Amino acid sequence: MDAANLAATLATHSARVMRWKPWELAVWALIWAAPFAAPQHAALINEIAILALFAISLDLILGYAGIVSLGHAAFFGVGAYAAALLAKHLHPDPLLGLAFGAAVGAVLGALTSPMIVRGSDLTRLMVTMGVALVLLELANKFDGLTGGADGLQGVVMGPLLGVFEFDLAARTASVYSLAVLFVAFVLLRRLVHTPFGMSLKALRDNRLRVAAIGLSVQGRLAVVYTLAAGLAGAAGALLAQTTGFASLDVLEFHRSADVMLALVIGGAGWLWGGLIGAIAFKLMHDLISAITPQYWTFWIGLILVLLMLVGRERLFSPRQWFKRGGTT
């Protein structure tokens, strides 16, 4: 099999995989219908879309590059602050702010990526967490710029595309966030099926082998990390723009933990995981905290423990409950 032949085979293979399946189209149609069918929940839909984008970006480094991170909020947070500051001091256009937030996130990702290519899982966990903590302290210290613990006030967004004002019912916000999520999803879907994306999957499964083929492991990891950081920055920018402020909370540990939970509920390592997880996580949160506002974390914790102990596919498919063993 010569190279040209191989390339052709690969191309047809990707084309086959690339084709949208009916259920994918159906789910997206449902998602797009949501803000119009349930306008009273527009604000929640907006939050879900933002969390989904954030979770998908985490999935890139966790599901595809196999990096365990508990500090992904670092990028989300700088994106949020970048977008908010831009709107406050320079220009109120949302799309400009979105691009700026994503860019700042990506730059931070590129800068910190050398830190995560070495060491064990524990080391990575600690370094990612450490970076987020240092940023949190920085944001708290430079309160002249960030507003410190009181949050950054006075962020007034201009209308989207110069037409759609951000209304109180959050309709504009929800459609805007969904659109950004959709674009990111389509782009990533393409990326995952390129040769580069294939090599990422190989990287996840067997790092040594990828190195042996002669591909640069470190370079690839750095690229993925930067890309993921940029997407997380975009998610942060969306949050800052649709809520009209940014506070230290965007850098807190619970952000990193929540997005990890959402991703795990949906399943890491496939693009739909972040999306489905975000929807499930937010709806569960809303429902459980409506029933028991003080102790909802207990149930989230229980779900997580069961999920990890039993394994996802056994938890969600009754046919497997009665089989012994299982491959998780």
Partner 1 sequence: MLTLLFDGIAYGMLLFVLALGLAVTMGLMNFINLAHGAFAMAGGYVLVLLMQRGGWPFLAALPVCFLVPALLGAALERTVYRPMYRKPHLDQVLFSIGLTFMAVAAVDFAMGSSQQNLQLPDWLRQRWEFGSGAAMLGVGAYRLFIVVVCVALALGLQALLTRTRFGSRLRAAVDDPTVAAGLGIPVNRVFLLTFAVGSGLAGLGGALGADILGLDPSFPLKFMVYFLIVCAVGGTQSITGPLLAALLLGIADVFGKYYLPKLGGFIVYTLMIVILLWRPQGLFTREAR
Partner 2 sequence: MTTTRRLVTHSALGALGTIACAAAGLLTPGFAAAQADALKIGLILPMTGPFASTGRQIEAAARLWMAQNGAKVAGKTVELIVKDDAGVADTTRRLAQELVVNDKVVALAGFGLTPLALAAAPVATQGKTPLVVMAAATSSITEASPYIIRTSFTLPQAAIGIAEWAAKNKIKKAVTMVTDYGPGIDAEKFFVDRFLLNGGTVPEKLRTPLRSPDFAPVLQKVRDAQPDAVFVFLPSGQGAAFMKQFAERGLDKAGIKLIGTGDVVDDDILADMGDVALGVVTSHHYSAAHKSPANQKYVAAFQAANPKMRPNFMSVGGYDGMRVIYKALEATKGASGEALLAAMKGQIFESPRGQVLIDAQTRDIVQDIYIRRVEKVNGALYNVEFDAMKGVKDPGKNR
C-beta of 230 vs 267, nearer to partner 2: 267
CB of 309 to partner 2, least distance (A): 16
Choose the one of partner 1, partner 2, none that binds residue 130, judging by a C-beta under 5 to 8 angstroms depending on kind: partner 1
The only residue of 125, 198, 217, 280 in contact with partner 1, by rule CB under 8 A: 125
Which residues, other chains included, contact 14 with Cβ-Cβ below 8 Å and sequence gap of 6+? 193, 194
Binding range to partner 2, per CB under 8 A, among 62-70, 99-107, 185-193, 261-269: 261-269
Window 154-193: residues binding partner 2 (CB under 8 A):
168-170
User: Is residue 297 involved in binding partner 1 (CB under 8 A)?
Assistant: yes
Size of the site for partner 1 (CB under 8 A): 42
- C-alpha–C-alpha distance, residues 226 and 216, integer Å: 16
Size of the site for partner 2 (CB under 8 A): 57
The only residue of 120, 208, 291, 317 in contact with partner 1, by rule CB under 8 A: 120
Binding range to partner 1, per CB under 8 A, among 127-135, 152-160, 163-171, 208-216: 127-135
User: Is residue 125 involved in binding partner 2 (CB under 8 A)?
Assistant: no
Binding range to partner 1, per CB under 8 A, among 7-15, 134-142, 148-156, 220-228: 134-142
CB 188 within 8 A of CB 57: no
- C-alpha–C-alpha distance, residues 83 and 221, integer Å: 26
The only residue of 317, 322, 323, 324 in contact with partner 2, by rule CB under 8 A: 317
User: Is residue 137 involved in binding partner 2 (CB under 8 A)?
Assistant: yes
CB of 147 to partner 2, least distance (A): 8
CB neighbours of residue 58 within 10 Å: 30
Q: Six-digit token pair at 237?
A: 């920018």
Q: Is 164 exposed, middle or buried (0-12, 13-18, 19+ CB in 10 A)?
A: middle
Q: Name the one residue in this structure whose structure tokens are 């977008």.
A: 83
CB of 252 to partner 1, least distance (A): 11
Residue 83 Cα to chain centre, angstroms: 17
User: Is residue 295 involved in binding partner 1 (CB under 8 A)?
Assistant: yes
Closest CA to 236 of 44, 62, 101, 108: 101
Q: Is the dihedral of CA 13, 17, 20, 22 positive or negative?
A: positive
User: Is residue 211 involved in binding partner 2 (CB under 8 A)?
Assistant: no
- C-alpha–C-alpha distance, residues 140 and 78, integer Å: 13
The only residue of 23, 162, 323, 324 in contact with partner 2, by rule CB under 8 A: 23
Closest CA to 244 of 117, 88, 89, 124: 88
Q: Would you say how long the chain is, in residues?
A: 328
The only residue of 270, 299, 304, 310 in contact with partner 2, by rule CB under 8 A: 270
C-beta of 121 vs 313, nearer to partner 2: 313
Phi, then psi, of 152 in degrees rounded to 5: -90, 115
State the Cα torsion 141-146-149-151 to the nearest 10°. 180
Rounded to a whole number of angstroms, the distance between the first and last alpha carbons of the chain is 35
Q: In this structure, which amino acid lies at residue 263? A: L
Closest CA to 53 of 320, 266, 303, 307: 266
CB of 198 to partner 1, least distance (A): 22
Query: In the 8-state DSSP scheme, what is residue 161?
Result: T
Residues engaged in binding partner 2 (CB under 8 A): 23, 27, 38, 40-41, 43-44, 46-47, 137, 140, 143, 148-151, 153, 168-170, 239, 243-245, 247-250, 254, 265-267, 270, 272-273, 276-277, 279-280, 283-284, 286-287, 289-290, 293-297, 312-313, 315-317, 320, 327
Residues engaged in binding partner 1 (CB under 8 A): 62, 68, 70, 115, 118-123, 125-127, 129-131, 133-134, 137-138, 141, 253, 257, 260-261, 264, 268, 294-298, 300-305, 307-309, 328
